[in-house]
Amino acid sequence: MCQTADTEDNLRLGRALGDAIAESDRKVVLLASGALSHTFWPLRELRKHEAAGIEHIFTPEAADADAQRMQWFEAGDHARVLDTMPEFYKYKPEARFGHYLMMIGAIGEGDCTATGRRYGEYENSVGTGQVHYWFDRPEGGFPRPRRTPEDPEYRQLVGGPDLPAAG
């Protein structure tokens, strides 16, 4: 997990993964593991917040933001999750939510309507929001990954300096 990657970086990695899966003749399971909101209680306060109850999530606003995303997961509204990433970053999702972003990049981003089945309860872990979901394959299959737009700055970075040929 790259801690400095932004939303687009993680989606690009997911798109590349999705393309590789589509070209393969293998069955593939994607596992994306990470927390929703992810702010820990300060060390001297941890003992007061070790229980799993939602009241121990770092802030009520973080728990509310997590609950929104869980509703959207269950409705298969991945476009809404993606559209609201700038707001969700206020609650410091684990690894900038890269685990989810790479997965959803591989299976069609906002075009994906896979509904989430929750396993277990949403709960606290010393301030962070934890939950497990399985995304069922839609009847018609997952959409193809979106195309990554050409990035001229990237070409310049990896192409090296523009020098005339010797000679």
Give the pLDDT band (50/70/90) at residue 130: very high
Residue 159 is predicted with a pLDDT of: 66
Give the pLDDT band (50/70/90) at residue 18: very high
Residue 154 is predicted with a pLDDT of: 65
**Mean pLDDT for the stretch of residues 98-118:** 97
Q: Which of 91, 112, 52, 90 is nearest to 101 (CA)?
A: 112
Is residue 34 within 8 A of residue 98, CB to CB? The reply is yes
The label of the residue with tokens 């301030």 reads: 127
Surface-to-core class of residue 167, CB atoms within 10 Å of its CB (0-12 exposed, 13-18 middle, 19+ buried): exposed
**pLDDT > 90: what percent of the chain?**
86
Asked if the model's pLDDT at residue 156 lies above 90, the reply is: no
Asked if the model's pLDDT at residue 84 lies above 70, the reply is: yes
pLDDT in tens, 22-31: 999 999 999 9
Residue 157 is predicted with a pLDDT of: 64
How many whole angstroms separate alpha carbon 39 and alpha carbon 54? 14
Surface-to-core class of residue 135, CB atoms within 10 Å of its CB (0-12 exposed, 13-18 middle, 19+ buried): buried
Q: Which of 101, 93, 111 is nearest to 32 (CA)?
A: 101
Class of domain 7-41+49-139: alpha beta
Per-domain boundaries in the chain: 7-41+49-139
**Mean pLDDT for the stretch of residues 94-112:** 97
Residue 164 is predicted with a pLDDT of: 66
How many whole angstroms separate alpha carbon 123 and alpha carbon 35? 10
Give the pLDDT band (50/70/90) at residue 20: very high
Give the pLDDT band (50/70/90) at residue 149: confident
Is residue 107 within 8 A of residue 114, CB to CB? The reply is yes
Is residue 34 within 8 A of residue 100, CB to CB? The reply is yes
**pLDDT > 70: what percent of the chain?**
92
